[in-house]
Amino acid sequence: MTITATITVDPAAVVAPIDRRIFGSFVEHLGRCVYDGIYEPGHPTANADGFRLDVVDLVKELGSSTIRYPGGNFVSGYRWEDGVGPRETRPVRRDLAWHSLESNQVGLDEFARWCKLTGSELMMAVNLGTRGIDAALDILEYANHPSGTALSDQRIANGSPEPHDIRMWCLGDEMDGPWQTGYMTAEDYGKLAARTAQAMKAADRTLELVVCGSSGSNMPTFGDWERTVLEHGYEHVDYISCHAYYQERKGDLGSFLASSHDMQYFIETVVATADHVKHKLHSDKTMKLSFDEWNIWYLDEHQASQEVNDDWVFAPRQLEDVYSVADAVVLGNLLITLLKNHDRVASASLAQLVNVIAPIMTEPGGDAWRQTTFFPFSVTSRLARGEVLRPRIDVPSYDTAVYGAAPLVDAVATVDRDAATGALFLVNRHLTEAIEVTVSVAGLGLTSITEAVTLHDDDNYAKNTMADQERVGLRDLDSVGIDGDTVTVTLPPVSWSAIALGT
């Protein structure tokens, strides 16, 4: 029997105007993300700074907006001063987070230049693991003060005459995690983060500060952590962070395809907790969420491996997940969930960007290529313009071991009323059956289809590899049609699709 779904897009059901920061990404000094990733001085495409321009082109195509830097766990032991000034005098340090050596050949000034090359916004994290207010104020002065102070003049002498003007700053990373260098109780972190935020805002009250939330919804302190931290710093910070990674476990693809249920639960819990604190403190401010680490990550397998070991080496191959079609479908669904919650999730960062759990892979001296997960991100970043609309979806559910009943189809819509364009993003979670979907877009004035693509393969586990870099790609969605203001489309099983609409 044919499975059908009906989707109604109500032009008035506006979630939020689209802020490009929802399409952010993340570059950490970890494995081969920076070294032999974005930076490889000997590569044929490298520029004067040593950055690979073939990677820059792929980052632009991916459509990353804000890029969080330099960690991650790495930042909790980082001395930012090591990464500025003449490269030949920069020290080699031990990175305890990933047990590797850090050459400091890339630091703040180089990375700010790389962000300009890619057209992205730099979002900086300060070290609240081994350091504190003093170091945070110093990097802020170095990065943002125009001139005439010790550290701003040092930046100018180092070849960056203009301030980097970094707007978003993370107050540490995952300080709730026992794996974090210098991790703390919520009480201790809440006090330190509040004081650091207050001091940073005394320097520049227009900064946007992100306080650490939980490292996952499975953390034992989840909920309490957010409440305690926000009770200390509510008036000084602008965002609370969320981090979530998903993977298929024990061959249970059905549950994996419904991973966005956990992301939705995570967001709702943090929103409820933040609003509780808001009302308790009689605040006028509504806290925004920065979902600044999210992705598919086969963490169980990495933890069981020997790739993070006792050796001290530069840029080891760590966390180099090779993603399947199913992984890409889940990633597309997570992005749909972020958009559906864009009224509160104002910023997000796909973790990470190159080689390390990344949509882009590179080989030293060789190629750069797109993983399967590249496609839903790049197409959504390109087509989602204007405002997010929350559709009503009527579709049967299926049973999952982890999340119970889950709808077979998920979707979100966007509309750019000025440009008279729109887009639909849809997933079919059924393992074997196509689903016939009817979408009403009445009232939007959009009556033609300008583009329709799908990510699907007969092999759910097909991947792009160095040897076969284009095994998986987008395909035309042949089954789509529009009659007046009704779109009809057949979604293949285990697929992510995008349909662009015009007049």
CA-based diameter of the chain, in Å? 74
Token output for 418: 């000025």
Query: Catalytic residue among 121, 141, 248, 293, which?
Result: 293
d(CA 359, CA 439): 30
293 is catalytic: yes
Q: What are phi and psi of 347, to 5 degrees?
A: -145, 150
Residue type, 98: W
Strand spans (E) along 247-310: 288-296
Stretch that binds ligand AHR, among 65-73, 141-149, 324-332, 463-471 (CB under 6 A): 65-73
Residue 138, Cβ density class (10 Å: 0-12 exposed, 13-18 middle, ≥19 buried): middle
Token output for 351: 């973790």
Q: Does 173 bind ligand AHR (CB under 6 A)?
A: yes
Token output for 5: 């779904």
Nearest alpha-carbon partner for 77 in 171, 169, 172: 172
Near ligand AHR in 335-364, by CB under 6 A: 351-352
CA distances 260 to 29, 243, 294, 334, 430, Å, are: 28, 13, 11, 5, 15
387 is catalytic: no
Stretch that binds ligand AHR, among 67-75, 132-140, 201-209, 408-416 (CB under 6 A): 67-75
Give yes or no for a contact between 335 and 24, defined as CB atoms under 8 angstroms apart. Answer: no
Query: Catalytic residue among 141, 174, 248, 387, which?
Result: 174
Near ligand AHR in 274-313, by CB under 6 A: 293
Near ligand AHR in 1-30, by CB under 6 A: 28
From residue 188 to residue 227, what is the string marking binding to ligand AHR with x (rule CB under 6 A)? ---------------------------x------------
Stretch that binds ligand AHR, among 71-79, 364-372, 433-441, 495-503 (CB under 6 A): 71-79
From residue 28 to residue 47, what is the string marking binding to ligand AHR with x (rule CB under 6 A)? x-------------------
- Binding residue for ligand AHR (CB under 6 A) from 24, 50, 70, 72? 72
- Binding residue for ligand AHR (CB under 6 A) from 65, 66, 73, 273? 73
Bridge partner residues of 314 (DSSP):
101
Size of the site for ligand AHR (CB under 6 A): 10
Nearer to ligand AHR, 174 or 262 (CB): 174
Residue 277 sits at the vertex; the CA angle it makes with 273 and 279, to the nearest 5 degrees, is 115
User: Catalytic residues, which ones?
Assistant: 174, 293
Catalog residues that contact ligand AHR under the rule CB under 6 A.
Answer: 28, 71-73, 173-174, 215, 293, 351-352
